[in-house]
Amino acid sequence: MKKYIVITGASSGIGAAAAKAFAGRGENLILIARRAELLQSLKDEIAQIAPESDVVIKICDLARSENVLALWDELKSYELKALINNAGFGDFGLVGEQDLQKTVKMIDLNVTALAILSSLFARDYKRKQTQLINISSVGGYFLAPGVVPYCATKFFVSAFTEGLSHELAQDKEAKMQAKVLAPAATKTEFGSVATGDADYDYDAAFKRYHSSLEMAEFLLTLYDSDACVGAVN
Ligand code: NAP
């Protein structure tokens, strides 16, 4: 039976770069996001560069937990080897001055969807040679003023995943590994989504930043290693 790597938030940025990098290794992929046209063009691109890789796309708004649960039911017809919870977004602004609806949606995606998918993956795949990689952030280890709610969501991601990793290490029957990738600034759609500025300028905002291609390579290095945390600075 074919085995698949699931990547959420695969329509742009780090997720799309990771999808191409895993496809380059011949891996079969299930790619999830809301924007169908971007996922379809990524699937077409992978068919050109890695025709042996089977790519399934699933359109899903993961900020709604009922969708997350329905998605997991759909994934039951596939055998999974890894789940990469990458979908997430930032919300820049001072607490009390931010768009609360956006903050709630961010928590629904960055925290709730990730917790549900990680838990269901552990329930169904803990005893198999599998990997869960959750994308946190440097902000999951460092609280920065002006990005506090976002950092708090990523503290959850880091704590949950590292805690699960310890739990798995103590469970003699568990073969699953749980890992955290904690990217530093990476040029993607993240800046525009976090600030609401479609012209967000990474050069003006950061002295140095990574490309999504570099971040995908860090992700593959983490995938190949036995480390629990892949922190990047
Ligand atoms: P990005 O280019 O904005 O990608 C975010 C991905 O998440 C997109 O594919 C987006 O797809 C998906 N997504 C957003 N809302 C969604 C929803 N409700 N349901 C399903 N999918 C959704 O940003 P990125 O930088 O690659 O972000 C990837 C991860 O890296 C995030 O968890 C982010 O917090 C983390 N990170 C990024 C940086 C950075 O500097 N870029 C630094 C640290 C951590 P659709 O819009 O098509 O749904």
What does the pLDDT look like over 60-103, one tens digit per residue?
Answer: 999 999 999 999 999 999 999 999 999 999 999 999 999 999 99
pLDDT of residue 112: 98
Closest CA to ligand 1's atom 9: 9
Q: Which of 133, 112, 126, 111 is nearest to 5 (CA)?
A: 133
For residue 182, the CA-to-ligand 1 centroid distance in Å is 13
Sequence-distant (6+) residues with CB within 8 A of 180 are 133, 134, 135, 136, 140, 157, 158, 161, 162, 228, 229, 230
Q: What is the pLDDT of residues 222-232, one digit of tens each?
A: 999 998 887 66
Mean pLDDT of the region 96-114: 97
Summarised one tens digit per residue, pLDDT across range 46-60 is 999 999 999 999 999
pLDDT recorded at residue 47: 98
Residue 42 has pLDDT above 70, yes or no: yes
Cα 5 from chain centroid (whole Å): 12
Question: Token pair for residue 183?
Answer: 């990217």
Q: Name every protein residue with a CB atom under 6 angstroms from any ligand 1 atom.
A: 9-15, 33-35, 38, 60-63, 86-90, 109, 135, 137, 183, 185-186, 188-190, 193
Q: Give 116-159 pLDDT, tens digit per residue.
A: 999 999 999 999 999 999 999 999 999 999 999 999 999 999 99
Measured from the Cα of 64, ligand 1's closest atom is: 18
> Model confidence at 16, in pLDDT bands (50, 70, 90)?
very high
**Ligand 1 centre distance from Cα of residue 201 (Å):** 17
pLDDT at position 228: 84
φ, ψ dihedrals at 92, nearest 5°: -85, 135
Percent of the chain with pLDDT over 90: 97
Ligand 1 centroid distance, CA of 87 (Å): 4
Per-residue pLDDT, averaged over 10-29, amounts to 98
